[in-house]
A and B are shown apart, each in its own frame.
Chain A
Amino acid sequence: MVIKSVFNDSFENIDTFCIAICRPKRKLNQQHIGILYVDSNNKTSFLHLAWHCLLIKEDPKEKYLWLDVSLDPINKIHLATICELIYDSNQSGGIPYGICIDDTGFAKDGKFTAEENYAGLTCATFVIQVFHSQGFQIIDFEKWKYRKADKCWQMQIIQNLMQQASKEHIQYQRKKIQVGAARFKPEEVAVATSLPNPPHGSEELKKPANILLNTIIDHSNKFA
């Protein structure tokens, strides 16, 4: 796993499609993840689910680290094209934010789909579904542990979401939290895309995810 930053590399040198991750606020224990890819204008762009119905494609920022994904160059070009499709297809309505990945995905026309109303994605599950929608299973859901500690984070997120989402949407998220929804942390998903021999369970990602997290924290401190 090679972690790159503007201090040792350049966004212009990315290999068509990779994963970018940062800690948006230095003192807040929260990471954000998205996809860095060469777009149809031959420009490096950052595609990410920023928040509720807010899918953004923009220039990458220096606070991001990036990692190569464990894919061949041919499939990287395919996935970069899929990112353009997803961005184009989800401009009207956007992709809702939701804490439970169950029954969500992208139709092959790139449009977000959900079997239940009010289902949505986080920044991390957005990345998972981009991979899984194209047949690249990076996460082994059977080997993913539900952690009680994640419930606090989920409740906090729902609290923040109340300002943007409908009552029904919030209610749906609360029900999912009560039942117990697995959380996929950005740093876990980032290493899952980068390590060979996917799909990966939560236990095997623990150590590399911690290494990445420490690097992210160090990097964010450089922008203090």
Chain B
Amino acid sequence: MSLMTMTLTSTTDINTFDLFNKSNSHEEWISGTKFNGSKVTSAGNKIVIYNLGNTGKTSTCSLRAYDYTDEFNKLLTEESWVSDFLQKASQLNDVKYLLPFYKEINRLISLKKFDTCNVFIKNVRVSELSDVLLVGILRLTFAWKNKLPAWPLLLNKAKNELNDRGYDSEVLLKGLS
């Protein structure tokens, strides 16, 4: 798949992201590119998230490129909602916006697509998840944690991330350990 060929849903329902302060070893920032919308594209093992500035107008912006595995790129192709999720994950903090993604994750579970679900939770970045998603993805999937080898890893990462954000992870993740 070539770069920029996969145009995805716009984020008109959700405010543009403020991701400029976040960085980690997996990200690469490219500044100074002009574009007309917020979207995710993938090429090879890179997934690029385009960010609008806070004004939401066409402007100079930043791009983040993630190195992802082949299996996650396959997931992006097969499950179109995942790209949408990647764009919005940090902003999903109320019922209206969470519900469509809860339904998608549950659909994977109810269809017994545990391998697909495992790829999702293995590759999801806790630093990009909203507070509710940090808890919600684990609660939604914990009944099948024995079928999801990446689940304990996500639990540990979520614990650390919640603590880093100043929450008491023991309280928020109660009942899951």
Contact = CB atoms under 8 A, between A and B. Distances in A.
Nearest to B133: A78
Instruction: Name, among A74, A85, A136, A137, the residue most crowded by chain B CB atoms within 10 Å (CB to CB).
Output: A74
B139 A134 contact: yes
B93 interface: yes
B172 A41 contact: no
B1 interface: no
Contacts of B143: 107-108, 133
A81 interface: yes
Contacts of B132: 74, 77-78, 81
Given A74-B132, A136-B174, A85 B102 contact: yes
Contact of B175 (A42, A84, A110, A137): A137
A110 to B, nearest CB: 7
Nearest to B98: A81
Interface string B142-169: 1110000000000000000000000100
A41 B107 CA distance: 22
What is the predominant secondary structure among interface residues of chain A facing chain B?
loop
Interface in B38-90: none
Nearest to A42: B96
A142 interface: no
B109 to A, nearest CB: 5
A21 interface: no
Interface string A96-125: 000000000001111100000000000000
Contacts of B127: none
B140 interface: yes
Give the size category of B's interface with A.
20 to 34
Contact of A78 (B106, B110, B136): B136
B106 A85 contact: yes
B99 interface: yes
Interface string B92-129: 01111011001100110110000000000000000000
Contact of A81 (B102, B110, B172, B175): B102
A109 B174 contact: no
Contacts of A111: 110
Contacts of A77: 93-95, 98, 132
Interface of B: 93-96, 98-99, 102-103, 106-107, 109-110, 131-132, 134-136, 139-144, 167, 171-172, 174-176
Given A107-B110, A109-B109, 10 more contacts: A38-B94, A41-B96, A42-B95, A42-B96, A74-B131, A75-B172, A78-B132, A81-B95, A81-B99, A109-B107
11 contacts: A40-B96, A40-B99, A72-B171, A74-B135, A77-B94, A77-B95, A78-B135, A82-B102, A109-B109, A135-B174, A136-B174
Interface of A: 37-42, 72, 74-75, 77-78, 80-82, 84-85, 88, 107-111, 133-137
